[in-house]
A and B are shown apart, each in its own frame.
Chain A
């Protein structure tokens, strides 16, 4: 009997010390002097620009990776093609790579002297968009693939024999089966895109109002001894994270929960 309480105590203690306390403490520190100082810190022009940049990055990367995710999922599961295994492995690569390496790759490719260099990609928004797309690529695919496998092709074949074309089949048969998996994948992709730091750090150029994302802004404020600014921006990001968490919990594929 004691065993159960000991494990519970240890597990919860670990989670509290590592996660709950630090996050809670930052919230407390941010709002210690009231709501308005924090609000002012996070509505400075620089902070708002940074937020705008972050939203643009996610606003492009998430839809692109969602469309890719559905197409790739269908390609991998439904249409046998040579190299599908390699394709699958490459899709997973962004999960294994350090974000700094991602940034380096883009710098080498699009920077001055690179293979595709000299077109205002790095040190500008396009480079950051590409970095964000890279790191948030796998999530929709990985959610869609198991569902497609599970669902099978019976219904799609039935629809084909009834005369439906590819688009109609997709819309009426495939889509309803995968839409919640897509939704969950979109939430994960968005969280990853909003939180990206390492890769954009390398390709950014830190141009205020142009290439400083909210995550870079947090580091910038911290290094300028502006604790209030850093915490306020961190809290904004944390609140977005909490929203993401709620959505994740609501949409999570059922076999992982009780």
Chain B
């Protein structure tokens, strides 16, 4: 009798043990700061799918550049989701991400956004274009591009906006110098920048659309204008080469590109990379939208503009004493 009950117990226990072994997977997601809310919804959604059954997550959010450097310094990660491609490329150089990370159909991107102008209620200074930013008396708040990787999108948006307006590259560069003269505050991160602006400094804050929407969702009195010429921000994502669960990590990334997941991103203010998920949401298409390729692509832009020793921005910021 006892032997039979023991066998029965084992028989019942076996599937439980097997399922437990399958439940073993824990993925470490290291991401930049703004998609925290979105991933809070996306992870449970993933866990409801077949591929996501029994997968648990540890999550870490912080400034994109900081997170990239943290992973390089040893922060464990299976999936890395950052704000801009250079932060991911630096991990490629350290052999933490495969070189082929952006060779798929989506070029390694998971969400998009655009650069916008956050203005005061009613837009009293009528700031609508890049030229308006350098009108006399306009104070600009933008994060420091040397501490905030994401702030580089702002600079390249301004540069590209000047090119679109018909300027030559040299004129566009001197436009950047003019722009920087109007900067009244350049805090270390985008989030701090928004807080600085909301605390009353400056007339306009250069931000990403999804940051502005995030602030609005959280009750902040934020109003923004999307200029006609603006850059398409593309946020990359990749599996790390040190991951012990590459298959599940890739399954998670694949999930993030499905329509339901992209809908969740869209509801959180991100522009999706697939079509058909933006009903009821407002993502105006700008006639003079351009990508980073229009201004030279990240590798050449990083060197030319953001080299701390001789890049265009280093010279401009240095000349202004900050």
Interface residues of A (CB under 8 A from B): 107, 111-113, 117-118, 120, 122-123, 205-210, 223-226
Cβ contact within 8 Å between A205 and B70? yes
A123: which of B61, B70, B218 is its contact (CB, 8 Å)? B70
**Contact partners of A223 in chain B: CB under 8 A:** 33, 191-192, 195
Q: How far is the CB of B34 from chain A (nearest CB, A)?
A: 9
CA distance A226 to B195 in the complex (A): 13
Given contacts A113-B73, A123-B76, A207-B59, could you give 10 more A-B pairs where the C-beta distance is less than 8 Å? A111-B74, A112-B74, A118-B74, A120-B74, A120-B76, A123-B73, A208-B60, A209-B58, A225-B218, A225-B219
The complex places the Cα of A225 from the Cα of B191 at a distance, in Å, of 10
Question: Can you list 24 contacts pairing A with B, beta carbon distance less than 8 Å?
Answer: A111-B73, A111-B74, A112-B72, A112-B74, A113-B73, A117-B74, A118-B74, A120-B74, A122-B74, A123-B74, A205-B60, A205-B70, A206-B60, A206-B62, A207-B58, A208-B59, A208-B61, A210-B58, A223-B192, A223-B195, A224-B36, A224-B218, A225-B218, A225-B220
When distances are taken between beta carbons in the complex, the residues of chain A under 8 Å from B60 are: 205-208
Interface size class of B (residues with CB under 8 A): 20 to 34
Name which residue of chain A comes closest to B28, CB basis: A207
Q: Kindly state the separation between the CA atoms of A123 and B192 in the bound complex, as whole angstroms.
A: 23
Q: B10 near A: Cβ within 8 Å? A: no
User: Are the C-beta atoms of B218 and A206 separated by less than 8 Å?
Assistant: no
CB distance from B304 to the nearest CB of A (A): 30
Q: Which of A123, A209, A225 has a CB less than 8 Å from the CB of B215?
A: A225
Residues of chain A with a CB closer than 8 A to B274's CB: none
In the complex, what distance in Å separates the CA atom of A256 from the CA atom of B64?
Answer: 50
Closest residue of B by beta carbon distance from A112: B74
Which B residues are in CB contact (< 8 Å) with A224?
Answer: 36, 218
Main secondary structure of the interface of A (DSSP, over half): loop
In the complex, the answer to whether A206 meets B61 with C-beta atoms within 8 Å is yes
A113 to B218, CA, bound (A): 41
Q: How far is the CB of B191 from chain A (nearest CB, A)?
A: 5
**Cross-chain contact of B75 among A113, A123, A226 (Cβ < 8 A):** A123
Instruction: Determine the chain B residues whose CB is within 8 A of the CB of A207 once the complex forms.
Output: 28, 58-60
* Contacting residues, chain B, for A118 (C-beta < 8 A): 74
Taking CB atoms, residues of chain A closer than 8 Å to B59 are 207-208
Closest to A122 in B: B74
Instruction: List residues of chain A with CB within 8 A of the CB of B33.
Output: 223
Which positions in B face A, CB cutoff 8 Å? 28, 33, 36, 58-62, 70, 72-76, 191-192, 195, 215, 218-220
Tell me, in angstroms, the Cα distance from A206 to B215 when the chains sit together: 22
Would you give the shortest CB distance from B51 to chain A, in whole angstroms? 23
In the complex the two chains form, what is the Cα distance from A113 to B74 in whole Å? 9
Residues of B within 8 A of A123 (CB): 70, 73-76
In whole angstroms, what is the CA distance A117 to B219 when docked?
Answer: 44
Closest chain A CB from B68 CB (angstroms): 13
Q: Is B74's CB under 8 angstroms from A226's CB?
A: no
Cα distance A117–B72 in the bound complex, in angstroms: 13
In the complex, what residues of B have CB within 8 A of residue A208's CB? Answer: 58-61
Q: Which 6 A-B pairs have the closest CB atoms?
A: A112-B74, A225-B218, A123-B75, A207-B60, A205-B75, A208-B59
By a CB distance below 8 angstroms, the chain A residues around B73 are: 107, 111-113, 122-123
Q: How far, in Å, is B219 (CB) from chain A's closest CB?
A: 7
* Docked complex Cα distance between A20 and B285 (Å): 52
For the complex, what is the distance from the CA of A111 to the CA of B73, rounded to whole Å?
A: 6
Tell me the complex Cα distance, A207–B76, Å: 10
In the docked arrangement, what's the CA distance between A121 and B195, Å?
A: 33
B61 (CB) vs chain A CBs: closest residue: A206
| Cα–Cα distance between A206 and B72 once the two chains are bound (Å) | 15
Q: How far is the CA of A208 from the CA of B43 in the complex (A)?
A: 14
Closest chain B CB from A33 CB (angstroms): 14
Collect the chain A residues with CB atoms within 8 Å of residue B36's CB: 224
Q: How far is the CA of A125 from the CA of B295 in the complex (A)?
A: 44
A225-B219 Cα distance, complex, nearest whole Å: 8
Of B59, B60, B191, B192, most A-chain CB atoms within 10 Å: B60
Cα–Cα distance between A205 and B74 once the two chains are bound (Å):
10
Nearest-CB distance from A206 to chain B (Å)?
A: 5
Nearest-neighbour CB distance to chain A for B139, whole angstroms, equals: 23
A117 to B74, CA, bound (A): 9
Least Cβ distance of A135 to chain B in Å? 21
In the bound complex, what is the Cα–Cα distance between A112 and B62 (angstroms)? 19
Q: Which residue of chain A is the closest to B33 with respect to CB atoms?
A: A223
In the bound complex, what is the Cα–Cα distance between A17 and B195 (angstroms)? 25
Query: Chain B: which residue is nearest A225 at the CB level?
Result: B218
A8 CA / B61 CA spacing, docked (Å): 49
Shortest distance from the beta carbon of B196 to any chain A beta carbon, whole Å: 12
Q: Which residues of B contact A206 (CB under 8 A)?
A: 60-62
